[in-house]
A and B are shown apart, each in its own frame.
Chain A
């Protein structure tokens, strides 16, 4: 809770920086603030909500229980890495303070999404997160791609919001409340006897959430937006925003609509299957690494959705938590490298990576780790994430999805390895090393090591919520 306040406060502070002329200080302040938020976050760990209340409960609008704190932790940690990676971006942009503010507001929305307990907070969280993102996506004003990305994101996002709201309204109509725990209780008590429009509402919300996490067939915006947005923002979207969206999705469907599982599971399983197939297969044909990563994020979304599909209540949370973290740090590594490379080579195609194995061996090795992790090869974090999802899903009746997941993973290896092959197998006309500043190098090395470390010793994260 305090973390949320700190982050939103930071956002406002960043805005003020313009006026009070301490622009230079904003960056360090933000980093410190994030660390503080992170630290504060965990002081609330294991807080007993039934007992006395040092914080205002806000009528059960928002509740930073353990899963929420864990996801907040992931978001804050990744945000910290992201800010380090994005330092170059913040140096170059003209409207630094605005950017800072927008990013931090988005972050606020993301944190809300991890902890909401009410449809209002869900809705507001999504919008607080999304609206600044629309702007950020479009933030390169003279770049048509960026404009287009922002615009597409906005239109489709608002359209999806419409469905979300319609769904909320229907559910509200059927249950008479916006509180998700009350909704859950009502659904459970009704034993399927609620009016059908209630389930229609749930499904509409499912669709809207699937849109937010970019699952097929509601994924169309993602590749375009990811590609058009500035790389740094793409990284932000594919890590923090995605994590938050999943936290929200999970909270809503596991803790809210869990009792109506039979109504939405079939639809979700189809969505997962479609996402797996479409994302992996389309990614295989990409020539741009950035766009490939966009498609890959769809396939990762499908994996995380599997845990939700399993509907194991609390047991479904750790897999998603782990997955989001593993995926986020892997993506941060990949995007950080991609950012530097595309800046130096002038494009983000696979050929931009040619010969990197010789030119920047260390960076190339980190990229390999990131790719292996995204592809789900042991002992990287990505493997354990997938494994954990597998075990979760294996207990359900949706085993056929696993087979599909396995088959499409093999396709997935194809496009991740295209990068590796380009780095080590193809030769580049240039032989000098691509310039990487020391912060990026350090970040990339740290995230790579982290990828290996949590892949090898995943205990900490998975046992967090026990």
Chain B
């Protein structure tokens, strides 16, 4: 039972990034807020001076530090804070553990920063800890989503998020091009309820329902983010009619690529988040066909600016969304540069040279 998806067919498809890029921001805020543009966060020269004079301190509480995304976000925040004279006095890593994040927040409150920027590991169970942050008179900027039950602008001063639904839409629209009429698409999803993840997967399903009602969507879940490869391979074995996969996040996608390649199965895959690994695979005309990417660095900048606004009493919008980037072989090198703020690494460039598909 080898895959029926023939390589010629996938090679034939050339996706135009523009054709899958959504118009504006697809999603709304968690509480239905209308998304605002980053421009709303620009500081005037006077404001900038005020921030610098304030000698403010900041702390950051992350859900994980083990992935590219966190590193880039931090870089964006840090560079912007540096230019504004805001000192980062603590960065914590909750390792996806809610209890740990509650402790982290308590410990950061102890250090009395003026502002905390944080992505909730879970928007519900950490809410009380964020209320303590607010109660301690510390300004609060959320990444991705606000914790449940906190009010804007009393408890928190802004949320900066990627267009998660937009990410999902890009991945779905790209995947759709590989699914023949009445074909089957597969989704490999994280099987634990998380708001942002849900947003993406939901949008993928919605998109297919709205735009490709002929396509049947099958789904498999994983709970161990480090053992996704076998799950995907077994899922595909049991469902040989699948013509393409959406896999949540880049690391699970690449673990799946390894297992599928090893099992001799070739399938187009779309995912979210650009990293070196999925970039190289895409550049070498491999499994990854399109990525609905966030701009973590830009988000970091925006978060820092939102924090600066809050610190000097300016009001920042309740919901600032950054548009998703549709990354395809055609725009891979530019996208990489715009997302990472540095040229694509040698591996991607070499792979592009070898395959010759980049920039087309």
Q: Are A and B bound to each other? A: no
Residues of A within 8 A of B (CB): none
